Structure 1
């Protein structure tokens, strides 16, 4: 039994400021300003330490004594500094998978150029299932459900990406002693989206003619903005995100140029893109449709993203092939016997068509904002603006009858 009583403590906290011992290293501190609190004084490695146990208003004398005994037990029996354990617990409060993801993603921000991609996959396809769960409560069946749900929605590549991120996420948890095992470790790509085939899909002119005809005939499900986005992607050869996230600030329609900044370029290199007359006309229509939005393709739905969603175009195209994610009753296939393609295949088609038109390889590569390889890439800093302008103009004229707008 200590030297203090509840009655004595009540009188002390109403009296002069100071530190009053109960014995065994337990003290009640009465500060000049602020609330009284309990603290434990102990020695470790020849040094005296003090650790706050709790406010007097929230911890009675008997509770403070029990807490003091527990902390001293860790010190004497387990030979661990209780203050160190308390500070470490405060620093690593990873109570949910969401908490673990935030801690893991810090490293991605520094390591990955496009760190927003794993975050988008996590927030959309992983967090809704396990985000609120304790990391050590997630089991293999949870992982299986997540990757199968993504695969069944017609996104095998995203399923593979999600599995990769889950493995990395829980390996991070093992590193921090948050989990003892990785629930995703036994799965491989055959359990998710399957082995991905080489990405070499390029559409023929005949296919393009049929595809854009289907686009036009299905305005209810394939919006005009989607149509114009696909037309621009095919004609300019830019990446999907570079176009759908573009702002009007980057585009000068009078000068006929688009200044793509390095911050939004996947290659990390900014580029001035010459706009053919056909493309200028499309951008002018989009400007009217944007209705004052600072973005070329504003998001029509309430979303944290002010521009078109990352999956919008691919989902719209996939629906025309007879598959709509999350729907039991699937829509009819409007594309007939045309092989399925993705938005990125339009960029590859652009490169193929440039070659067919006789555009020199180095000019075509710069049209796609690819870095030139080898010695030429090191020493030749010429941006081939005029050559690219001529090449894209020729391509737009070639595609004019295909993309009837």
Structure 2
């Protein structure tokens, strides 16, 4: 009787339930329900193991014999065919990671460092809107510079800032995939940027009200409503509208308002808490706002949460103004330079701008010029509220 190839295709089809040897330790296990399984018995590293080769009839007799011979060849090379197959499956699974899965995993890892844990979706937004619809279902290892170029080309010149954010975040996701051990091209983003070319888009800065006109505008905010009070406090402190809207009673101590690092622009692990000295005028505005406080917030919305970020902008829009609340930071910065003659480092700190290089900032991180800023904020508050017009005229004339 033959040692191998004992079975025939016709015999396999009509074989009764039980174990049927083809030779060379290849067996067909046929069940009572008619189903069957190919099994190869191997001995590797002194251990006898059974390796499944697939179900019959999906795996034919000829295919089972080919698989069995491949496994025997590995055994002859002292390779465990079962472990080698598992390794190949893992590699195949890694190579099939879709880009949308990598984006999701990257975001989960970044969440603790993002402002508000990324709940507003600003980090994900450029990817969700412009990238994932085209590349989300593509295995990350297959994404090349052509794919990225074709995805971002429609917005590269028309929505340059959004496209740039999307490109940078693609790069972060590619690095994350590489850290997972996936075979990706680490230079793919640089290559895509070279193909996209230099953008024709020019950044348009938010219009700012000239500092000389700020007192008149400030005086027009006289309704005593939350929106007017919020805009007044924004003008007086030079902070962003998000910080004003989320102002809480517990953030204030005396004449100092401490904005938590996670509420500042940027990443939480890189942004320390920021202290804002409150002028006497700012403290008066806050005292009025306290009358509307709810759940600890001084600027709550009508229903729940805090005042909308559009509330203050709409005041200016309804008046037909091109300027917006964020522009008052520029108004303050120019006043600091032209009128107050504030040192550059102090003026930049007034707006929570980083100054110097990373090394110099590490030595001065605990030095925020608070006393100097307190004096400048008081002067700004007096000017804005119209209580120091004579001083301003004198300073301008002197310059």
Q: Same fold (TM over 0.5)?
A: yes
Higher helix content, 1 or 2: 2
TM-superposition CA deviations, 1:120-152 (whole Å, max 9, x none): 43366336744753356967554334557x73x
Structure 2 residue aligned with 1:165: 169
TM-superposition CA deviations, 1:155-204 (whole Å, max 9, x none): x533432343346546877993479977954324526xx2447x697541
CA spacing shift, 1:389–1:89, aligned 2, 3 Å: same
User: Hey, what's the Cα distance between the residues in 2 that align with 1:179 and 1:300?
Assistant: 51
What SS does structure 2 have at the residue aligned with 1:233? helix
| Of 323, 331, 340, the match for 1:357 | 340
TM-score, length of structure 1 as denominator length: 0.57
1:158-197 alignment runs, 5 A limit: 158-166=162-170, 169=173, 176-177=182-183, 185=193, 186-190=195-199, 194-196=201-203
1:186-265 alignment runs, 5 A limit: 186-190=195-199, 194-196=201-203, 203-208=209-214, 228-252=229-253, 255-265=254-264
What SS does structure 2 have at the residue aligned with 1:101? helix
Q: CA deviation at 1:334?
A: 1.9
User: Hey, what's the Cα distance between the residues in 1 that align with 2:130 and 2:306?
Assistant: 23
Structure 2 residue aligned with 1:346: 328
Q: CA deviation at 1:236?
A: 1.4
| Of 309, 317, 320, the match for 1:334 | 320
Structure 2 residue aligned with 1:389: 374
CA contact (8 A) 2:95 2:183 kept: no
Structure 2 residue aligned with 1:400: 385
TM-score, length of structure 2 as denominator length: 0.58
Structure 2 residue aligned with 1:12: none
Structure 1 residue aligned with 2:153: 144
Q: CA deviation at 1:395?
A: 0.9
Consecutive unaligned residues in structure 1, runs of 5 or more? 10-20, 29-36, 321-331
| Of 133, 136, 158, the match for 2:137 | 133
CA spacing shift, 1:274–1:71, aligned 2, 3 Å: farther
CA spacing shift, 1:177–1:379, aligned 2, 3 Å: closer
User: Hey, what's the Cα distance between the residues in 2 that align with 1:227 and 1:68?
Assistant: 80
CA spacing shift, 1:342–1:394, aligned 2, 3 Å: closer
CA spacing shift, 1:40–1:232, aligned 2, 3 Å: farther
Q: CA deviation at 1:83?
A: 0.9
CA contact (8 A) 2:215 2:385 kept: no
CA spacing shift, 1:166–1:357, aligned 2, 3 Å: same
Superposed CA RMSD in Å reads: 5.7
Tell which structure's C-alpha radius of gyration is larger. 2
CA contact (8 A) 2:246 2:306 kept: yes
Structure 2 residue aligned with 1:102: 104
CA contact (8 A) 1:256 1:280 kept: yes
1:54-65 alignment runs, 5 A limit: 61-63=56-58
CA spacing shift, 1:39–1:399, aligned 2, 3 Å: farther
Higher mean C-alpha deviation, range 165-174 or range 346-355: 165-174
